[in-house]
Structure 1
Amino acid sequence: MVVILVDDAGLTDFAPFGGEAKMPAIQSLADRGTKFSNYHTSPLCAPSRAMLLTGIDNHRTGIATIPEVLTDNQAGQPGYSMFFEPGVRTLADRLKVSGYSTYMTGKWHLGSREQDLPNSHGFDRSFALDASGADNWEQKPYIGYYAFAPWYEDGKPADLPEDFYSSKFIVDRMISYLDSDKQSSQRRPFFSYLAFQAIHIPVQAPREITDTYNGVYDQGWHSMRKKRHQRAIALGLIAADTPLAAMPAKSKKWENLSPEQRALYTRAMQVQAAMLESMDSHIGRFVKYLDDRGELDNTLFIITSDNGPEPSYPIEISGMKTWMSLNGYNHRLDNLGEKGSMVAIGPEWASATASPLNMFKFYAAEGGLRVPLIIAGPEIAKQDWQSAMTMVTDITPTVLDYLNVTDQQTDAVAITGRSMMPLLDGSASAIYGDDDAIGIEVSGNSALIKGNYKLTRNSPPHGDNIWRLYNLALDPGETNDLRAQQPEQFHRLMEDYERYENEVGVIPPATGFDYIKQTKRNSLRKLLSSNWQIFALSAAAVLTLIGLIIKTIYRRRQAKPL
């Protein structure tokens, strides 16, 4: 049993979904399995990971949002502890007691205390990054919120090898864990969870792969999003009459950029494609490893993304360039994507990688929620596209159903997702009915999907906190707000959403919430908290020096003759 989680991939980023990156390993798995065109996750990484690994709504796991954007009114409240709360059991917990060996490598981001790491949540072996991201070439942080890159092996602080590259290392370490198991004839069934850093900021990849995408993105984001829209139609991912969502209101226009700016943005997108290709090559190594062991044909694969594409462009945030220079980062065209470079694609490219959908990560628009999902393995029907509505919370119950595993622990928090097996074996065309209301909320970005309709609200800076109503069957790009035309439907869904908020314990963020400003505020607070002794000593030294200067001046004045 293998779960592969990609970080920040948009709906059309994977090659089988219309992306430009060469991804033969994922393409091969998609070709022999089922591709989902209407799969939804949460708009942020940690809540999505919590939901994926437990099958439980994020507010009931304790990870309603991420620490980086947590507001004061949420901190310490039930559902907002930022770690798995009592009674929350992971897929690894459930499989381990059923005789499975359980392994995890890559990004964790589900609690920073010793008891929050993978080894305390069902994983026999783990090499985990307990942060939202980190450098892909070295062991160092990528933003000021973190003082270092916190990697742990089996719950203990760990160092990375000299030849570290994240995608390679995540696969290498997983293979080493599987190799340490008994011989194939005696080996227990296993669960491998590979959580890649690709394609989270900083976007980084080997130059030789990046160079192969020269010319691919030279026409800019407007051109690419139209091409992806057309490819999505040609592939059957979306209907032929699906409207293309508009770019975010404050988007830069490609034609207004200087040649130097275009070169940097173009190269950044090349690096992202190269990072996907590099990740896929290492996934291919892992697939071959299982094949060589005679286990490929008996392995279930689930491949997906934690949320939509990353819009943040930290290079333009005030103070970031100073932090970069202090931490060994630059943003130069000559080494973009290589060791020491800070790379992000920004909101314009992010909008294009979610094409034809609206917006991106952080937001409850379809671009933040609807991502690729591929399931392949024994007895999984080959389907070009499965269009039924599905959720990230459906993955754990699907795996348990597929493996015929029953958890006997009676005091566990109840799973809220549903098994997708009726869709995978062809016995049903839907697992949610028209009357089933599915709520989603992270840091004020909210949605409720019921039948073909979706109610949604998005916060600043790209949102405006206004509720809107869409028909996703006709308009997955959310181009036509139906609130004024269908007020009764709008009010019914609002009642459903309010019921969802009360049931799961949503605590809206403080008034005026903006995730970029909140991240800066929390980063500064954490910096001061972690280094208060240094700041106190520095302040004392400065005050002492000022005192000495004043004392010296006073003595000199006293010594002068009248």
Structure 2
Amino acid sequence: MTARLLKLLAGTACSALILTPALAQEAAPPVKAPQYVRQAPAGAPNIVLVLLDDVGFGTTSTFGGPVDTPALNALARQGLIYNRFHTTAMCSPTRASLLTGRNAHRAGVGAVLADSRPGYSGFHTKDSAMIAEVLRENGYSTAAFGKWHTTAAWETSPAGPFDRWPTGEGFEKFYGFEGGETDQFEPSLFDGTTPVRRPAGKDYHLTDDLVTQSINWFRGQRAINPKKPFFLYMAPGAIHAPLQVRQQWIDQYRGKFDQGWDKLREETFARQKRLGIIPPNTQLTPRPEGMPAWDSLSPDEKRFASRLMETYAGFMAHTDAEMGRLVQSLKDAGEFDNTLFIYVVGDNGASAEGGLGGSLNYLGALQGMPETLESKLAHMDTIGGPKASAHINAAWAWAAGTPFQWTKAVASHLGGTRNGLVISWPRKISQPGGLRSQFGHVNDVVPTILEATGIPAPAEVDGVKQVPMDGKSLLYTFDNANAPERHRTQYFEIFGHRAIYHDGWMASAFHTRLPWGAALGAGAKPFEQDRWELYDLNSDFSQAHDLAASQPAKLKELQALFTREAAANQVLPLKGQQFGDAGLPSLQTGAKSRTYYEGAVGVPEAALPRLVGRSWGVEAKLGAGKQAHGVVATLGSTDAGWALYLDAKRYPVFTYRLYNIATLTLKGRKPLPVGQNAVRMNFDYDGKGMAKGARLGLIVNGAEVASGRVPASPPIFYSITGSFDVGVDTGSPAGDYPKDAPVGNPASGMTIDSVTVEQR
């Protein structure tokens, strides 16, 4: 403090001090004001990124397929079609690569069935920040709607941590589901990190809800701050199993697939050539060994299979209409012209996980618990509705991937990795309606967004040094259909199936796991015994001609390149399919008994004591009033699971669902007494081993009131669409609740003091 100021202060007792400009400058040097508002680059576009699920290359009419997709067609006319765009062949790895711009293994999410290898853990590493975080830090509003499926399994419970949930990865808004799939009529939803029930209404469908939520979100953002661009990530569960859509969409395709999958492939192939989606010299690849010819099916098998494909097509048509509603809302708001709209038509090829015979409830068959044809025919009218978790035959998935070999999960061949891409940006694409054939990959999307927005890839995010991007921006293709491709090298690997692309050549090695095989395992064939194939994709668009025998030197060169790329991206060591790796964290470790309280909802099955392959029990302590009814505790869903509840007349009920194999309902002989009660169910397992049957007993206040048997039980899990809830059922119903019960059949007229789930 200067002497002049001290003298002035001394003569000023409790009076306001007025400084001259010169004195003020001497007393308080100017300080640069902090930046309170993040500013996006001037003119930066909005970004809308759509990712569909399990859609084969030859599914939509845009790419020559049998499903009419007028909204996607219109978007393609306003933008560009890419016919050599690739995914990873599986959902979680594709999503990790899509949102980070890195290879999936490098980001830690190289598999769905995780294990302790760094590239396969499912644990997204922060050195590959997601695009939402980068855009948010540069002045964008960010939101994600729909399927996430990139959070490590041990972090998906309400106990968190939540830094790898969408709201911890840069998305300011999340409304959707965490796992690989959910019921379309009764989804397991989160708003941020809070489990929520779906909006009430008899005509509810998840895709409708997601689109409505997204429209409301961006409209709200623009109303509050019109100058702030937004990033909207839309990832519906469609058209992943369960195939569920309202009946009117299915009815549009009645009889459209009675010709079968072999003929459908020929029809799609011809349309693709007429449209110019594939080169005129492309050849149609043959049906994989082990997949039946359509003509080998019985009339009943054909009837069931046709119904499945009609539902698949209706589900896709409905999805197209809803994505069209999103596009129209952007146009109505005047936002479309300066929106970079990136539409990835599938996160992998169509799924063969419905098995060779197709499924009414595919999760049972996927665990080695197949359905009988008689059972499937008896319940055929439930396909597409809330009481079925239907999935198409593996051969329909193959046909949906015309003209390529194989399907989802086979990363060695294009049927698993080649997906359609449409990009629209009216303000920047000067010649819309064109076709682009440069090689592209999902890791190219983030670099494309960054170049379009003028935002450089950050060297650090939140103090964490970032690994380099693996993708290349696709903006160079916008104005030049013949521009030399910039993404020259790309490896692929899922379940040990692997491939390497370099400058138009692809080397491919199919390992052991058939894409319609059970999840229990796929053999232990040594990797060195795999046969490598070689394809010149410059002249062989469909991967039809194996040149390995005639060009061994080229094959050896590409094999060596795969090894280098695999080593650099945490792909090695190869192990094929893994399940239950002990090297990963688990909320089940050491858990023999857990007690939960009312309000515990959205708890994943993997956070409970392990209940499969053993005896177990559940006991609830509750206070019942005269009008008590509703859910006490539940696990799983309509697929498989159980529910303990009080019916409308206060009777205690326990329902156990085992896919389409068995449903057992135990009911007390009289209403539960008013006051404090202990209600218990014991599951007494039939000895050692997997998938055994059990005796079930319902016990009220120490006395058994009902009992019964089930012939089997799940070998691995009950459901991936539901969760464990106390006091409500947040997903598709595991219990036979009264028809007039509200959504989730919430507990009413009772207090649930505790629910204990324990191994016995």
| 1:257 alignment partner in structure 2 | 297
| Secondary structure of the structure 1 residue equivalent to 2:50 | strand
Q: Distance in 1 between matches of 2:383 and 2:140?
A: 42
| Secondary structure of the structure 1 residue equivalent to 2:327 | helix
Q: 1:246 to 1:178 in 2, by over 3 A?
A: same
| Secondary structure of the structure 2 residue equivalent to 1:37 | strand
Pair 1:292 & 2:339 matched: no
Q: Within 5 Å, which residues of 2 pair with 1:54-93? A: 54-66=100-112, 69-70=113-114, 75-93=115-133
Q: Which of 552, 561, 566 is 1:501 aligned to? A: 566
CA offsets 1:487-530 (integer angstroms, 9 cap, x no match) = 0000000110010111112134536x4899xxxxx9x9996873
Pair 1:307 & 2:348 matched: yes
Q: Distance in 1 between matches of 2:369 and 2:565?
A: 43
| 1:555 alignment partner in structure 2 | none
Q: 1:181, 1:187 within 8 Å by CA — same for their partners in 2?
A: no
Q: Which of 401, 413, 425 is 2:451 aligned to? A: 401
| Secondary structure of the structure 2 residue equivalent to 1:532 | coil
| 1:145 alignment partner in structure 2 | none
Q: Distance in 1 between matches of 2:247 and 2:101?
A: 39
Mean alpha-carbon deviation: is it higher for 226-235 or for 381-390?
381-390
CA offsets 1:245-278 (integer angstroms, 9 cap, x no match) = 1111111221222222111111111111111111
Pair 1:211 & 2:261 matched: no
Q: Distance in 2 between matches of 1:219 and 1:35?
A: 29
Q: 1:264, 1:333 within 8 Å by CA — same for their partners in 2?
A: yes
Pair 1:450 & 2:472 matched: no
Mean alpha-carbon deviation: is it higher for 291-300 or for 459-468?
459-468
- Larger relative CO (CA 8 A, sep 6+): 1 or 2? 1
Mean alpha-carbon deviation: is it higher for 404-413 or for 228-237?
404-413
Q: 1:330, 1:341 within 8 Å by CA — same for their partners in 2?
A: no
| 1:352 alignment partner in structure 2 | 399
Task: Kindly indicate which of the two structures has a greater share of residues assigned to helix.
Answer: 1
Q: Which of 360, 374, 388 is 2:438 aligned to? A: 388
- Name the amino acid aligned to 1:160: R
Shift of 1:83: 2.5
Q: Which of 404, 410, 428 is 1:379 aligned to? A: 428
Query: Structure 2 regions of 5+ residues with no counterpart?
Result: 1-46, 156-161, 516-524, 581-585, 590-603, 619-681, 686-694, 696-760
Q: 2:509, 2:533 within 8 Å by CA — same for their partners in 1?
A: yes
Shift of 1:335: 2.7
Cα RMSD, aligned residues only: 2.9
Q: 1:318 to 1:216 in 2, by over 3 A?
A: closer
Taking structure 2 as the reference length, what is the TM-score of the superposition? 0.64
Greater Rg by CA: 2
Pair 1:431 & 2:479 matched: no
What number of residue pairs does the alignment pair up?
Answer: 516
Shift of 1:215: 2.0
- Name the amino acid aligned to 2:509: R
Q: Distance in 1 between matches of 2:176 and 2:232?
A: 13
| 2:610 alignment partner in structure 1 | 532
Q: 1:263 to 1:285 in 2, by over 3 A?
A: same
Pair 1:159 & 2:209 matched: no
Q: Distance in 1 between matches of 2:236 and 2:291?
A: 29
Pair 1:98 & 2:128 matched: no
Q: Distance in 1 between matches of 2:378 and 2:143?
A: 36
- Name the amino acid aligned to 2:388: S
Task: Kindly indicate which of the two structures has a greater share of residues assigned to strand.
Answer: 2
Query: Structure 1 regions of 5+ residues with no counterpart?
Result: 140-148, 517-521, 547-562
Q: 2:56, 2:349 within 8 Å by CA — same for their partners in 1?
A: yes
Q: 1:319 to 1:390 in 2, by over 3 A?
A: closer
Q: 1:119, 1:126 within 8 Å by CA — same for their partners in 2?
A: yes
| 1:45 alignment partner in structure 2 | 91
Q: Distance in 1 between matches of 2:378 and 2:556?
A: 48
Q: 1:537 to 1:10 in 2, by over 3 A?
A: closer
Q: Distance in 1 between matches of 2:292 and 2:282?
A: 24
Q: 1:441 to 1:191 in 2, by over 3 A?
A: same
- Name the amino acid aligned to 2:173: R
Q: Distance in 1 between matches of 2:289 and 2:249?
A: 33
Taking structure 1 as the reference length, what is the TM-score of the superposition? 0.85
- Name the amino acid aligned to 1:51: S
Q: Within 5 Å, which residues of 2 pair with 1:461-540? A: 461-462=513-514, 465-510=530-575, 513=577, 530-532=608-610, 537-538=616-617
Q: 1:423 to 1:271 in 2, by over 3 A?
A: same
Mean alpha-carbon deviation: is it higher for 256-265 or for 314-323?
314-323
Q: Which of 373, 382, 400 is 1:335 aligned to? A: 382
- Name the amino acid aligned to 2:559: M
| Secondary structure of the structure 2 residue equivalent to 1:228 | helix
